Chains A and B, each alone.
Chain A
Amino acid sequence: MKPRQQRMLAVGLAALGIAIAAGLTLRAFQDNMMFFVEVSDVVAGNYPSERNFRIGGLVVGGSIERQEGSLDISFEVTDTACTIPVVYSGVLPDLFREGQGVVAHGRMGDDEVFQADKILAKHDEDYMAPEVADSLSKHQQDIADAAVAGAAECRSNDS
């Protein structure tokens, strides 16, 4: 092969490879993207109903309930303004405990309970998933505003 043809071949192959890759990426991205939804937004009904998403916040103190001897557990997650109930079945991460930051993957059940299929609590106690930290600090601000205005803390869509 002549050098020019070689270069053409190389460029052509690279372009083809990248085109295929880009096409696949875009197609599969749609199905695999998982959105993070703030607890307040979930309570307000703003969440993707047909697919999995992530929520995050603090585990509410005293909310962890477990049936004795069973893997099923329920607890509540709060962004300090709103709270939603979560159910999960399985082994929990080591850093999962009341008052700690947590991220849950799953979807909303018909009963307004978040059905988690995966629970993440990070390796380091000082570390909080950035989206959770964001969500908490934002709503802590809301609480302060709400206290001044005397408004309801959690604005759900039914109230």
Chain B
Amino acid sequence: MIPEIGQFALILALSLAICQAVLPLVGAHRGDAAMMNVGRSAAAGQFVFVAVAFACLTWSFIANDFSVLYVANHSQLSLPTIYRVSAVWGAHEGSLLLWIFILAAWTVAVARFSSGLPDAFAARVIGVLGFLSVGFLLFALLTSNPFDRLVPAPADGGDLNPLLQDPGLAIHPPLLYIGYVGFSVAFAFAIAAMISGDLDRRWAKWTRPWTTVAWMFLTLGIALGSWWAYYELGWGGWWFWDAVENASFMPWLIGTALIHSLAVTEKRGLFKSWTLLLAITAFSLSLLGTFLVRSGIIVSVHAFATDPTRGFFILTFLAVVVVGALVLYAWRAPALDSDVGFAPLSRETFLLLNNVLLVVATTLVLIGTLSPLIIEMATGGKISIGPPWFNVAFLVPMIPLVILLGMGMHAAWRTQAASPWLNTLKIPAIIAIILGVVIPLFGYGRISIMLVVGCAAAAWIVASALIPIIRSLRREKGTAGITRSALGMSIAHLGMGSFVIGATIVSAFGVESDRALQPGESIEVAGFEFHMKSLGNVQGPNFSAIEAEIEIRDDGEYVATVRPQKRQYLVQRSLMTEAGIHPGMDKDLFVALGDQLGNGAWSVRIQYKPLIRFIWLGALIMALGGLIAISDRRYRSTAKARDKVPLDSTKTAEAPA
């Protein structure tokens, strides 16, 4: 009964989504206020029904209703309740429902906080979001229904993939999806602006906070995924340039470019058509990412053939969204750009370079990700592109990006005089050169060109990002301090510095060693002594495990005890490695059990990972920077003041920054 209610709720949500897509757009075109207002109510109704459907699927999991095919395939009686809930988005059908749910939630948020927007504009935004909902709901109902029944119902389910039975992975997909789907709001704002033909600085001001929030969640989602891969996949890497990871990284890179380009559009009324193009691209890449990964196309063209209806639907939907948006763009965007100039040395120039470099980086990642697919289709040859290629290719745009980042932060809008600017940059430059040599040489005892570049880059970002904060702290009483949005920018850049130093040091000085070890024996790795005290059996709710107790000492001094496990999950009979990690800001010590070698010995992988926490900490700080930036007063005022002035693209464009 419950699954049927869920199914029915989804169908109702689809009919409301159709109203939400059609009526406000027609109403905005005709200037019919009643039709425009339907959008908000339809969005609210759609959200309620999607929430009901989501609750029904969750209930089916909690109640172990194995007559639902999706539940039978991805849950099991002894699965802990928390993982029965997260199993809802453990595979294709459920994660699609989660996606729809999050889209509905974003739409309701837009409807709620759009009272400051002109009615016609808000109606168009909601209409575009409704159109996206229709596409996804149709996709779910026609090809990937999570409520399909299984008759007769089995006595027990097939269990959730043990890899997904982890708190990190329980919240990773929702965070990532909130980010992905959040770009649909920027996309809808862009489409609405192009339909109405009006795009001014206020448009950028409205779009910015939504984009920043989506970007924050995507940042957190990716960082959590990286952290999960580090401790749960068991082998201690933090980024593998895997197709699945790249699919989430490309929208992030374009989203980052979009945030910077929106800053120019808001402050100076420039880069309008470029900003629109980035908004379209960010969302298109999100779509590409989610679906190509979920459908398995990116792994191989052959996966495409396993479910032609799904593949066909995805391609059609992508084509409608992307081609439709681009046609609209080609038609409307050329008229939007305004005739405002800027000097070669100005913040605009640096932000332009930032955008070019981020787009180049995205293109490289895209080429690396898709080329195996293209080569296979063209020649039939099967190749793979290894991480070494990505590591080198990605650094090419990243090194100039990092250098320009520090310079651009201190350039003024419109035009910047060279000498005071160079004066400001002197101190961070000196700090960067000194620390670039000192950190690797005295901190870790080795030096190379790439190490100096990496450490100097990190110090350069941190020092130049700290200048505005220090200036604000030392200002005279009564003068204005740093604004929230400038503070947010500085903090996000500090996060970038943290990431760069972490990535540099861990790639250069990380140690990884596969060894044989038996109880009572000790081995030395990276100057630490790893002593296996004992091996024993432990029982979990749905697994049994062998657990080693390993004591780590540094020069005879006790550091920590870690307990890596080798788990056997009882239903799927699969083995899982649970690493034993001694975390620390300065280093992680990581032990994973391999397999039994005979003679009571086990193979173990021992790793020393200096500063690896700075990588994820950096992502956290970046997201915090975004949070501070959107708390700026000027965004709150738009939400409150109801502004009925029609959009005008020329009048406000020259106002001071």
Is the pair A66, B597 in contact by a Cβ cutoff of 8 Å? yes
A69 touches B594 (CB 8 A): no
B601 neighbours in A (Cβ, 8 Å): 68-69
A3 contacts the other chain (CB 8 A): yes
> A10–B382 contact, CB under 8 A?
no
Q: Does A13 contact B (CB under 8 A)?
A: yes
Residue total for A at the interface (Cβ-Cβ under 8 A) = 42
Is B559 an interface residue, CB under 8 A from the partner?
no
A21 touches B598 (CB 8 A): no
Give per-residue flags for B348-385: 1 if the beta carbon is below 8 A from chain A beta carbons, else 0. 01001100110110011001100100000000011111
Could you give, for residues 33-65 of chain A, a 1 whenever the CB lies within 8 Å of some chain B CB and a 0 otherwise? Answer: 111100000000000000000100000000000
B383 CB contact (under 8 Å) in A17, A28, A35, A71: A35
Q: Which of B233, B359, B385 contacts A14 (CB 8 A)?
A: B359
Do residues B397 and A21 form an inter-chain contact, with CB atoms below 8 A? yes
B59 CB to closest chain A CB (Å) equals: 27
With A32-B389, A71-B515 as known contacts, state yes or no: A92 contacts B594, CB within 8 Å.
yes
CA distance A66 to B357 in the complex (A): 50
Contacts of B595 in A (CB 8 A): 91-92
Report how far A33 CA is from B388 CA in the complex, Å.
10
Q: Is B78 an interface residue (CB 8 A)?
A: no
Count of residues in B whose CB is under 8 Å from the partner chain: 61
Q: How far is the CA of A94 from the CA of B138 in the complex (A)?
A: 39
> B352, A13: Cβ atoms under 8 Å?
yes
Which residues of B lie under 8 Å from residue A69 when comparing CB positions? 516, 518, 597-599, 601
Assess the A6–B341 pair: CB atoms within 8 A: yes
Number of A-B contacts (CB under 8 A): 126
**Partner-contacting stretch, out of A76-84, A123-131, A141-149, A151-159:** A123-131
Q: A17-B360, A125-B572 are in contact. Are A91 and B341 (CB under 8 A)?
A: no
User: Taking the complex as formed, is B576 at the interface, i.e. its CB lies under 8 A from any CB of chain A?
Assistant: yes
Does B575 interact with chain A (Cβ within 8 Å)?
yes
* Stretch among B49-57, B298-306, B533-541 lining the A interface: B298-306
Interchain CA distance A112-B271 in the complex, whole Å = 60
| Chain B interface main SS type | mixed
Q: Once the chains are docked, how many angstroms separate the CA of A25 from the CA of B161?
A: 37
Q: Is there an interface contact between B367 and A124, defined as CB atoms closer than 8 Å? A: no
- CB proximity of A140 to chain B, nearest CB, Å: 16
Tell me, in angstroms, the Cα distance from A147 to B389 when the chains sit together: 44
Q: Is B577 an interface residue (CB 8 A)?
A: yes
B302: nearest residue on chain A (CB-CB)? A130
**Residues from chain B with Cβ under 8 Å of A113 in the complex:** none
Flag whether B339 is at the interface (Cβ < 8 A).
yes
Cα–Cα, bound, A32→B371 (Å) = 12
CB distance from A24 to the nearest CB of B (A): 6
Q: A105–B599 Cα gap in the complex (Å)?
A: 29
**CB nearest neighbor in A for B346:** A1
- A1 vs B341: C-alpha distance in the bound complex, in angstroms? 5
B449: interface (CB < 8 Å): no
Q: Measured between alpha carbons, how far is A10 from B368 in the docked complex, in Å?
A: 25
Q: CA of A2 to CA of B386 in the docked complex: distance in angstroms?
A: 44
With a cutoff of 8 Å between Cβ atoms, the chain B residues found around residue A25 in the complex are: 364, 367-368, 393
The answer for the CA separation of A17 and B601 in the assembled complex, in Å, is 53
Roughly how many angstroms separate A95 CA and B261 CA in the complex, as a whole number? 46
The answer to whether B393 touches A35 (Cβ under 8 A) is no
Smallest distance from the beta carbon of B592 to chain A beta carbons, Å?
Answer: 7
Most buried by B among A130, A133, A134: A130
CB-contact partner of B161 in A10, A14, A89, A123, under 8 A: A123
Rounded to whole angstroms, the CA-CA distance of A21 and B401 in the bound complex is 14
Q: How far is the CA of A36 from the CA of B357 in the complex (A)?
A: 33
Closest residue of A by beta carbon distance from B598:
A68
- Using Cβ atoms and an 8 Å threshold, which residues of chain B touch A31? 389
The docked-state distance in angstroms from the alpha carbon of A33 to that of B384 is 6
Q: Restricting to B150-166, which residues have a CB under 8 Å from any CB of A?
A: 161, 163
B49 to chain A, nearest CB (A): 33
A89, B514: Cβ atoms closer than 8 Å: yes
Residues on A with C-beta less than 8 A from B274 are: 10
8 Å CB interface, B383-417 against A: 383-386, 388-389, 392-393, 396-397
Known: A3-B340, A68-B598, A123-B163. A95 touches B575 (CB 8 A): yes
Cβ of A109 within 8 Å of any chain B Cβ, yes or no, is no
- Give the CA-CA distance A71 to B274 in the complex, in Å: 55
- Distance A1 CA – B339 CA, assembled complex (angstroms): 10
Give which listed residue, B300, B367, B594, contacts A91 with CB less than 8 A: B594
Indicate whether A1 sits within 8 Å of B343 (C-beta atoms), given known contacts A20-B396, A28-B393, A125-B574.
yes
Knowing A66-B597, A69-B597, the reply to whether A36 touches B342 (Cβ < 8 A) is: no
- Tell me, yes or no, whether A9 is within 8 Å of chain B by CB: yes
Chain A residues lying within 8 Å of B352, measured Cβ to Cβ, are: 9-10, 13
- Knowing A3-B341, A94-B234 are in contact, say whether A124-B514 is a contact too (CB < 8 A): no
| CB nearest neighbor in A for B164 | A123
- Asked if B603 contacts A90 (CB within 8 A), the reply is yes
User: Which B residues, 269 to 325, have Cβ-Cβ distances below 8 Å to chain A?
Assistant: 270, 274, 299-300, 302-303
A residues near B572, Cβ cutoff 8 Å? 125
B382 touches A71 (CB 8 A): no
Tell whether B605 is near chain A: CB-to-CB under 8 Å. Answer: yes
Interface centre among A14, A21, A68 (most CB of B within 10 A): A21
B167 at the A interface (CB under 8 A): no
Task: Identify which of A13, A66, A123, A131 contacts B300 (C-beta below 8 A).
Answer: A131
Question: Whose C-beta in chain B lies nearest to the C-beta of A38?
Answer: B382
> Is A18 an interface residue, CB under 8 A from the partner?
yes
Q: A28-B392, A68-B599 are in contact. Are A91 and B518 (CB under 8 A)?
A: no
Task: Tell me if A21 and B363 are in contact (CB < 8 A).
Answer: yes
B583 contacts the other chain (Cβ, under 8 Å)? Answer: no
Contact B360 A36 (CB under 8 A): no
**Contact between A90 and B337 (Cβ–Cβ < 8 Å)?**
no
A-B contact pairs, 7 of them (CB 8 A): A17-B356, A31-B389, A33-B383, A54-B384, A68-B597, A69-B597, A124-B161
Residues of A within 8 A of B (CB): 1-3, 5-6, 9-10, 13-14, 17-18, 20-21, 24-25, 28-29, 31-36, 54, 66, 68-71, 89-92, 94-95, 123-125, 130-131, 133-134
Given A36-B384, A91-B603, A123-B233, 20 more pairs with CB closer than 8 A? A10-B274, A13-B352, A18-B360, A18-B363, A21-B360, A24-B392, A25-B364, A28-B389, A28-B392, A36-B382, A66-B598, A68-B598, A68-B601, A69-B597, A89-B514, A91-B594, A94-B234, A94-B576, A94-B577, A131-B300
